[in-house]
Structure 1
Amino acid sequence: MRRADRLFQIVQLIRGRRLTTAEFLAQRLEVSIRTVYRDVAALQQQGVPIDGEAGVGYRMRVGFELPPLMFSAEEAQSLVAAVRLAQPQLDAVLEQRAEEALSKILAVLPGTARAAAESLTVYALQRGLDEATRARLTQLRQATESRNKLRLSYLDLNEQTTSRVVRPLACFFWGPVWTFSAWCELREDFRSFRVDRVQQLEVMDERFRDEPGKTLADLQRLDSAREDWA
């Protein structure tokens, strides 16, 4: 990869994430961490507003924009495939937004790239989510974004129903099943719940703030530690 191309990829990767470490960039670009440090420093010297430092991580300053990008035929096909495969498993709002975004991308492609994308013979034939799960997934995703607590009635794997108040942290797709992770105020610990086993769901007016030991980052660190121990 030419250095100019690598610098462009670094900008794209950093602007697409909240915080990007040098280790992540090195793995994605297949270069050394020292090379990443030099490239980021060069971009900063050229006026690209990258905040952060080596050993911590980088983020793009708010307001930085690049000119519109053009996709190759293969990249356009990848986007079409991703939307087709994901749509049956998304909630109704995200499904519609994905279709709208894809339409906007296809509309500005050159004729050959657009034809290649639209003629892609890759489809998702599995059944999508039932309407009840779709509705709950929308509520869960929106509550996670707005940081509203949830009151739910949940049927566990032992067929026992419990009522809980939780702080939703993230939703995860496991093939045919959606789960969400939360801080459970009943158990005073992290818990994962299957969306299709939620019997009743109420988005509460009460909002929550990050507290040490109760955040998604804390959960991810625990999961990483368990994997290392195993």
Structure 2
Amino acid sequence: MRKASRLFEIIQILRLARHAVTAAEIAERLEVTPRSIYRDIVALQAMRVPIEGERGLGYILRPGFDLPPLMLTVEETEAIVLGLALLERTGDTGLKTAARAVNDKIAAAVPEPLRRSLQAPVLRAWGSVAAEPPALDLAEVRGAIRDERSLDIVYRDAEGRLTERRVRPIALVYYSDVVNLVGWCELRAAIRNFRADRVVGCSPAEAFFRGEGDALRRRWSEGWAVAG
């Protein structure tokens, strides 16, 4: 998690907390060390964020501090809630966890009457739930797309043949029953789609394609190439 995102998450955790939260508790939620949280707290306090407390006892956010509101309408809020519910049908565990966190933040930010309406079982996403890919960490793939970092994958095609590929990942396409990884395949020298459930091995490569992602996505959208 980048530091800017982590600072925002710390503010959200403290804003929603009912009692003092220790650095160890925050660190566990954000999957970093308590030492990193101590440094982040000092950085936030230097930015005049009114965080009070000390090591070992926990931290609180002084009442009255808040982030700027998004000013969403009721229908806009409902659209977000339903969209988050649809994520529950994907095989992306990281996005499903993030969706639940966003839902909690929305519920904490809206007025009580709207909160009750959103928490009622009115808007539901129904249908089959995609299985999580057995050998592909979709959170790792999303990170590689953002960082424009190549991936080394072992791929099994429809006939059962295994090939080793170095792929420049540019997109993930979520279908109802499977996720497709789209990327530039160095073996085929072309854009290819890879079914996530056919990837039997994946690791980040020591190679980047920074500055090329947008051009590859334009090429993909213009050609809509398929195959693997």
Contact 2:144–2:204 (CA<8 Å) still a contact in 1?
Answer: yes
Contact 1:81–1:122 (CA<8 Å) still a contact in 2?
Answer: yes
- In structure 2, the residue matched to 1:28 is none
Deviation, 1:105, is 1.5
TM-score (norm 1): 0.61
Contact 2:184–2:192 (CA<8 Å) still a contact in 1?
Answer: yes
In 2 relative to 1, CA 117–125 (structure 1 residues): closer, same or farther, beyond 3 Å? same
* Runs of at least 5 residues in structure 2 that lack an aligned partner in the other structure: 1-66
**1:75-104 CA distance string (max 9 Å, x none):** 333222221121231522222222212211
Contact 2:170–2:183 (CA<8 Å) still a contact in 1?
Answer: yes
Asked whether 1:204 is paired with 2:215, we answer no
Deviation, 1:68, is 1.8
Where relative contact order (Cα < 8 A, 6+ residues apart) is larger, the structure is: 2
Partner Cα distance (1:71, 1:213) in 2: 30
In 2 relative to 1, CA 131–86 (structure 1 residues): closer, same or farther, beyond 3 Å? closer
Partner Cα distance (2:213, 2:207) in 1: 19
In 2 relative to 1, CA 85–214 (structure 1 residues): closer, same or farther, beyond 3 Å? closer
Partner Cα distance (1:213, 1:136) in 2: 23
Asked whether 1:216 is paired with 2:201, we answer no
Deviation, 1:136, is 2.2
- In structure 1, the residue matched to 2:37 is none
Amino acid at match of 2:142: R
In 2 relative to 1, CA 135–188 (structure 1 residues): closer, same or farther, beyond 3 Å? closer
- In structure 2, the residue matched to 1:61 is none
Matches within 5 A, 1:61-210: 67-89=68-90, 91-126=92-127, 128-133=129-134, 135-210=136-211
Amino acid at match of 1:195: A
Deviation, 1:221, is 1.9
Q: Once superposed, what is the RMSD of the aligned Cα atoms?
A: 2.7
Segment drifting more, 131-140 vs 111-120: 131-140
Contact 2:170–2:217 (CA<8 Å) still a contact in 1?
Answer: yes
In 2 relative to 1, CA 214–189 (structure 1 residues): closer, same or farther, beyond 3 Å? farther
What is the number of equivalent residue pairs in this alignment? 159
Amino acid at match of 1:169: I
Deviation, 1:127, is 5.2
**1:145-182 CA distance string (max 9 Å, x none):** 11111111101112211111111111001221100111
* Runs of at least 5 residues in structure 1 that lack an aligned partner in the other structure: 1-65
Of all paired residues, the percent bearing the same amino acid is 29
Contact 2:91–2:130 (CA<8 Å) still a contact in 1?
Answer: yes
